[in-house]
Amino acid sequence: MTHINSNRRRFLQYVALGTFTGAIPGFASTENRKLNQMPNSAFKPDVEIALTAQTAEVKILPGTKTRVLKYSGKLLHGPQTAIRELPGYLGPVLNFEQGQKVRLFFHNQLPEPCVTHWHGMHVPQIMDGHPMYAIEQGEQYVYEFEVKNPAGTNWYHSHTHEMTARQVYQGLAGLITITDEAERKLDLPGGEFDLPLVIQDRSFSSGNQLHYSLTMHQRMQGFLGDTILVNGQHNHVIPVKTRAYRLRILNGSNARIYKLGWSDGSPLTAIGTDGGLLEKPEIFPYIMLAPAERVELWVDFGGRKTGTELALQTLPFQGAAMGMGGGRGGGMRGGGMGMRGGAAEQGSQDTLVKFAIIEQVGDSPRLPDTLIPMQPLTVSNAANPDRVVSINIGMHRMTFNLNGRTFDMLDYTEQEKIPLNTVQKIRISNISPAMGGGMRGGRGGGGGMMGMMAQPHPIHLHGQQFRILSRRPGYADGAYATIKDGLINSGWKDTVLVMPGEEIEIIKPFMDYTGLFLYHCHNLEHEDMGMMRNFMVG
């Protein structure tokens, strides 16, 4: 089959170009398994789904339909609840249970390569959607894995080499929910009271088509759109009853960071983060949500009057907008993001979605005092308490990098080798000499070149979820004060927002699976410009 040949050719090219030495575990088996084009007969799936990436036309704005890329799904085997279609361009919500064995037949019907990553899921290298496994139009890739994650909200999206940003922008993303025994005991709001909210910013041409072209400045800061979509819909209003709901919020935007807040100033109750439920509910005045991060909220509409509305907003914040005065940028802007022809900068205020109270009901579940017990993970668990793994964010020739290097398909350095079944302490640092902040003395300043090029970076690590050990904020120019009370530092994470000048220590297990696992900035324009590297676990 020519399909195998084209993949094999690409594979061999990578081998020839990279620093491949023949010692990458998972690689030999990858070849033996012919890049997983056929199901493994020894794997007995509980759920089987066909997932196809294709072009489609969907209604988003009034008038002409919008051409998008879309995952369409079909349940082949397993519980009916395993897949739920959403209107619009997003792929179906995939609902899994911990312990289930899942097989996904991924078909690429796009006239370009594509590969799918299960963001947040703990799966083997060849199932993880590394860009080396991209398939061409007409090809199939079979993903098979056991769901090891606990209950929570994850997602899937394209991870195609240098095309991730555009493909995700055009629609290639969807949610994954996982449930488990411990969660079921909590009796959290379910069914129609368990609402997914995928927040994305887009720009449209006058003909209602998605607009995506980047100036140098836009490439540097990542794509920022002028129109907020929630679950692929514009000006979304969700009818609700006077009772408690669970909101599963994903920031599925390429680059925009949200500062979530209720329109009436009520505090927010978080019950979950990227990796699942928290130990207990936590209250925040607002919550920062960077690209790829998830937060689960508990909201009780009880006591509100029928006919009223409550909006979820993004509030103004500072320190994230790039350019002159970037350190103090953002903030409010007349007209907000509705304005065409110039997207609001990072940190602008807007309405995300409205909840319309339409019905009084008597009954509501109560917020549990505690959620799930959380295994402590501290520096005492680390295999490297004194030899921390560094991820230094840098910049060279208008390209962001990690430890001075950009992405190279199979490349990893000595310090990117991680021994299997260890827990590692990792320090992510957004202080770069190239940005003018090399010396610690620069930490107090924040102006000048620093203010221009310093940017927030949501850093994502594939594989298992990590915990945040500490944050050391950067510049004391007041900008940090506009975001700091909205950072959730408890709970399991796979993506962490690193503000300009900030240094964050995390602790992360690398269990079960050997091979290449990516870590990168989840500002997707940054990822595609090479702000991504491999860890070699083995």
- What is the contact surface with Cu ion in residues (CB under 5 A)? 457, 521, 523, 526
Q: How far is the CB of 275 from ligand C2O (least distance, A)?
A: 13
Cα–Cα distance measured from residue 101 to residue 370, given in angstroms and rounded to the nearest whole number? 29
Please give the single-letter amino acid code of residue 486.
G
Contact 352, 230 (CB under 8 A): yes
Contact set with ligand C2O (CB under 6 A): 117, 119, 157, 159, 292, 460, 462, 518, 520, 522
Contact 275, 121 (CB under 8 A): no
Residue (of 253, 247, 245) closest to 227 by Cα position: 253
Out of Cu ion, ligand C2O, none, what residue 119 binds, judged by CB under 5 to 8 A for its kind, is ligand C2O
Q: How far is the CB of 292 from Cu ion (least distance, A)?
A: 11
Q: Which is nearer to ligand C2O, 122 or 159 (CB)?
A: 159
Please give the residue whose beta carbon sits closest to ligand C2O in the complex.
119
Q: Which is nearer to Cu ion, 491 or 500 (CB)?
A: 500
* Radius of gyration, alpha carbons of the chain: 22
Out of ligand C2O, Cu ion, none, what residue 457 binds, judged by CB under 5 to 8 A for its kind, is Cu ion
Out of ligand C2O, Cu ion, none, what residue 241 binds, judged by CB under 5 to 8 A for its kind, is none
Q: How far is the CB of 395 from Cu ion (least distance, A)?
A: 10
Q: How far is the CB of 159 from ligand C2O (least distance, A)?
A: 5
Cα–Cα distance measured from residue 69 to residue 318, given in angstroms and rounded to the nearest whole number? 33
Residue (of 355, 158, 168) closest to 256 by Cα position: 168
Out of ligand C2O, Cu ion, none, what residue 523 binds, judged by CB under 5 to 8 A for its kind, is Cu ion
Out of ligand C2O, Cu ion, none, what residue 103 binds, judged by CB under 5 to 8 A for its kind, is none
Q: Which is nearer to ligand C2O, 3 or 161 (CB)?
A: 161
What's the Cα-to-Cα distance from 446 to each of 319, 417, 474, rounded to whole Å?
9, 34, 8
Out of ligand C2O, Cu ion, none, what residue 526 binds, judged by CB under 5 to 8 A for its kind, is Cu ion
Q: Which is nearer to Cu ion, 231 or 432 (CB)?
A: 432
Q: Which is nearer to ligand C2O, 127 or 518 (CB)?
A: 518
Please give the single-letter amino acid code of residue 449.
M
What's the Cα-to-Cα distance from 140 to each of 12, 82, 229, 267, 358, rounded to whole Å?
19, 21, 31, 47, 45
Q: How far is the CB of 527 from Cu ion (least distance, A)?
A: 8
Q: Which is nearer to ligand C2O, 236 or 522 (CB)?
A: 522
What's the Cα-to-Cα distance from 380 to each of 84, 197, 487, 537, rounded to whole Å?
42, 37, 24, 21
422: helix, strand or coil:
strand
Please give the single-letter amino acid code of residue 339.
M
